[in-house]
Amino acid sequence: MKNSKKYSGANRFSHIYVEDRALEYDVADILLNRFKYARIIPIKHYKNVFNRPRQNFWLQKNYQNIILAVKDEPFLYEGPEICENFGNRHFYYASAVLNCIYDCHYCYLQGMYQSANIVIFVNIEDFFKAVDRKLSLLGSMYLCTSYDTDLLALEGILPYSRKWIEFASSREELIMEIRTKSANYGKISDLAPCPNVILAWTLSPDEIIQKYEKGTPSLDARIDAICKAIDDGWNVRLSLEPLIEINGWESIYKDFIDKVCTTLPMDKIYDVNVGVFRMNREYFKKIGKNRFDTDIFSHQMDVDDGVVYYKNENDMEVAVAKELFKYLPSKKIYV
Amino acid sequence: MGKICSSIATTYMLSNIGDIDHCAVINVGLCGAQDRKHSLGMPILINKIVDADTSYEYFPDIFFSHDMVEGGLETHGSQVSGIYIGEEFVDMEASGFFEAASTFLPPHRISCIKVVSDHIDGCIPKKNELMNMIDMSIPHIDNVCKAMRYNIENAVTVLDANEKIYLERIAKRLRFTVSQTYELYDMAFKYKLRTGKGLPSLEYIFDIQIESKEEVKREFEKLKEIFWSK
């Protein structure tokens, strides 16, 4: 009964669920030492916690816990059509972490997963082996490692971006993208820039960040991190997505692009992609029914082939691309 | 009691509750402790339940602060004595309760508090001693009740009870089908989220006399225009 605060359920990461077999891995040790105050709950399989029925994703987000698990095959998934492959062949993604510490209103993860808890697969080396196997089969690969999470945002507690970069540095035939909204570049700034790794920053106007990207760094903080990464010699991709339709979006996005393109050395930007908000229809319906703190899902949308999108999707893309053309050659812009 | 009976009792109770969306359920009972560091009378907030027969695991979501010890509980079909159990605590009801409650409620509205009544290698206390242990635990149990109640009462809603009644009256007046009624609720819900305003005034509807299906359709389309206006 002493140390009662240790057992508070009202803190983030107050509980850590651990698969029995995950305890054998160093990553589990590191995390359990990092969160000594957390209550450790042994589990047989992560899905017993993660896939429970009727979980309230949005409430759970405020009391997020960690699940440490061992991933079984498959370790790699083919890149979905809805995602940009930037002209690369053999497009795959790997999810060594499921879920994110940020709470972006438009995030598809809240439609895809039953739970907001963060699953960390501790056997990262098995992901590396799977990539090596695929590389020997295909000869080359374009791999995204931060799709179903924000790896760099977690770098302070889980150095997986570092591990992926170190892995990629000795594999020239692998092109790897690490996508983030974080300003955590300092956590990997000691690493030598790796020519086959692209650090991709998702950027939005501050109006969007403040309204819809709960918990994420400001645009200025992201721009600062990008400047440092470029100075250090990293390939930096700017990902201007999802474009969100808000009142006055034309001028908001114009000012945003002016700001980004006049602050950053655009000649050193690897490339830029632009994408309007789109979502799987079922995810859209599920989130729209359950998320009460946003208007994102309360607009009339068009549906095509199971994907929901804005009625004026093309107008938004064209308007934003037009602004970008002022600062970048078209070959560097993916719409 | 046993897990079958606890499951039946939970199902009976929850299926007779009208407003299940504003309800939480807590199983309060006794348990045995494996370790003597957990003294007799200590209330335990259960964070994991394992059914000893099926090995199924159940996990409540604990979204509140509390001052109790937390622990894992193993539910057995018969009395356990002197054998190794995987979890720190043992009982004969919780898995049945939780499994049944899970079909009605989300895991953050299901809770289980067990008071340590004996140790696995020890003797069972007398009835009056057990009653005393439960009495001593009441403040802790009350805190959990209050915390769960607070979470329910402070849950964010978009359409309040009066607005739901208003929409129901409209749907009835306009003789909407079940599916049209659902769509009306959905449009009203999204209208409020999108505009940040209250529902528009629709009093004119109560002066309308609906005579045909065509009129129903026409009025439904009119409402669509109102609710989807910017």
Chain B contact set for A42 (CB, 8 A): 48, 72
Nearest-CB residue to A54 (from B105, B157, B194): B105
B37 shares its domain with B141: yes
Positive or negative CA dihedral for B134, B140, B146, B147? negative
- Distance between CA A199 and CA B174 in Å, rounded? 57
| Rounded (to 5) percent helix, strand, coil in chain A | 40, 20, 40
Mean pLDDT of chain A: 93
Q: Which of B151, B160, B218 is nearest to B189 (CA)?
A: B160
Nearest C-alpha in A relative to B48: A41
Nearest-CB residue to A44 (from B57, B69, B108): B57
Nearest C-alpha in A relative to B107: A55
B148 shares its domain with B104: yes
Whole-model pTM: value is 0.92
Q: Which of B108, B100, B93, B95 is nearest to B14 (CA)?
A: B100
Check whether A9 has a pLDDT greater than 80. no
**Tens digits of residue pLDDT in A39-58:** 999 999 999 999 999 999 99
Q: Please state the domain count of chain B.
A: 2
| pLDDT value of residue B84 | 67
Give all strands (DSSP E) within A169-310, no chain letters.
174-180, 197-202, 213-214, 235-243, 271-276, 278-280, 302-304, 307-309
**Tens digits of residue pLDDT in A238-288:** 999 999 999 899 999 999 999 999 999 999 999 999 999 999 999 999 999
Selected residue with higher pLDDT from A72 and A7: A72
**Tens digits of residue pLDDT in A139-171:** 999 999 999 999 999 999 999 999 999 999 999
* Interface residue ranges in chain B relative to chain A, Cβ cutoff 8 Å: 42, 45, 47-48, 55, 57, 59, 61-70, 72, 102, 105-108, 151, 156-158, 189-191, 193-194, 196, 228
- Distance between CA B128 and CA B144 in Å, rounded? 24
| pLDDT value of residue A7 | 47
Average pLDDT over residues A11-28: 94
| pLDDT value of residue A323 | 94
B113 shares its domain with B169: no
Chain B closest CA to A54's CA: distance in Å?
A: 5
> What is chain B's pLDDT, residue by residue, as a tens digit (230 residues)?
799 999 999 999 999 998 898 999 999 999 999 989 999 999 999 999 999 999 999 999 999 999 999 999 999 998 887 666 789 999 999 999 999 999 999 999 999 999 999 998 778 888 999 999 999 999 999 999 999 999 898 888 899 889 999 999 999 999 999 999 999 999 999 999 999 889 998 999 998 888 888 999 999 999 999 999 86
B139 shares its domain with B31: yes
| pLDDT value of residue A244 | 95
pLDDT band at A82 (very low <50, low <70, confident <90, very high): confident
The torsion of the CA quartet A76, A78, A84, A85, rounded to 10 degrees, works out to 90
| B158–A7 C-beta distance less than 8 A | no
Cis status, amide bond into A205, omega within 30 of 0? no
| pLDDT value of residue A4 | 38
Buried/exposed code over A15-41 (b: 16+ C-beta within 10 A; e: otherwise): bbbbbeebeebebbeebbeebeebbeb
**Tens digits of residue pLDDT in A197-213:** 999 999 999 999 999 99
Buried/exposed code over A197-217 (b: 16+ C-beta within 10 A; e: otherwise): bbbbbbbbbebbbebbbeebb
Which residue, of B153, B169, B204, is where some domain finishes?
B153
| B62–A9 C-beta distance less than 8 A | yes
Average pLDDT over residues A6-13: 64
B137 shares its domain with B111: yes
Q: Which of A70, A57, A44 is nearest to A99 (CA)?
A: A57
R_g over Cα of chain B? 25
| Rounded (to 5) percent helix, strand, coil in chain B | 45, 15, 35
Structure tokens at B42: 């200590």
Nearest-CB residue to A59 (from B105, B108, B191): B108
Nearest C-alpha in A relative to B57: A48
Please name the residue that has the structure tokens 């080359």.
A140
Where helices occur in B59-177 by DSSP H, the ranges are 94-102, 127-153, 161-173
| B106–A7 C-beta distance less than 8 A | no
Pairing between β-strand A197-202 and β-strand A97-98 as defined by DSSP bridges:
unpaired
Residue type at A5? K
| pLDDT value of residue A210 | 96
- This complex has an ipTM of 0.90
- Distance between CA A21 and CA A43 in Å, rounded? 9
Q: Is some CB atom of chain B closer than 8 A to the CB atom of A247? A: no
By the 10 Å C-beta count (0-12 exposed, 13-18 middle, 19+ buried), A270 is classed as middle
Chain A contact set for B39 (CB, 8 A): none
Question: Phi/psi at B16 (nearest 5 deg)?
Answer: -100, 5
Chain A contact set for B189 (CB, 8 A): 298
Q: How many CB atoms lie within 10 A of CB B169?
A: 13
CATH number at residue B19: 3.40.50.1580
B27 shares its domain with B50: yes
| A1–B107 C-beta distance less than 8 A | no
B82 shares its domain with B166: no
Pairing between β-strand B43-51 and β-strand B110-119 as defined by DSSP bridges:
antiparallel
By the 10 Å C-beta count (0-12 exposed, 13-18 middle, 19+ buried), B61 is classed as buried
CB B192 within 8 A of CB B156: no
B215 shares its domain with B125: no
Nearest C-alpha in B relative to A288: B190
B210 shares its domain with B137: no
Chain A closest CA to B195's CA: distance in Å?
A: 8
- Distance between CA B216 and CA B175 in Å, rounded? 7
Structure tokens at B100: 């049944």
| B67–A1 C-beta distance less than 8 A | yes
B173 shares its domain with B148: no
Q: Give the contacts of B129 (CB within 8 A, at least 6 positions apart).
A: none
What does the DSSP 8-state code read for residue A206? H
| pLDDT value of residue A2 | 34
Which residue, of B104, B135, B153, is where some domain finishes?
B153
Range of the domain at B63: 3-153
B140 shares its domain with B30: yes
Q: Which of A273, A277, A249, A275 is nearest to A328 (CA)?
A: A273
B116 shares its domain with B192: no
Chain A contact set for B72 (CB, 8 A): 41-42
Range 281-310 of A in CB contact (< 8 A) with B: 288, 292-295, 297-300
Q: Is some CB atom of chain B closer than 8 A to the CB atom of A311? A: no
Nearest-CB residue to A39 (from B70, B106, B189): B70
R_g over Cα of chain A? 20
Selected residue with higher pLDDT from A25 and A3: A25
CB pairs under 8 A between A and B: 91
Which residue segments constitute the domains of chain A, with CATH numbers given? 15-334 (3.80.30.30)
Q: Which of A123, A118, A108 is nearest to A160 (CA)?
A: A123
- Distance between CA B203 and CA A285 in Å, rounded? 30
Q: At what angle do helices A124-138 and A160-168 cross, to 10 degrees?
A: 30
Which residue, of B153, B173, B207, is where some domain finishes?
B153
Selected residue with higher pLDDT from A15 and B157: A15
Q: Which of B127, B93, B128 is nearest to B113 (CA)?
A: B93
For chain A, give the percent of residues with pLDDT over 70: 97
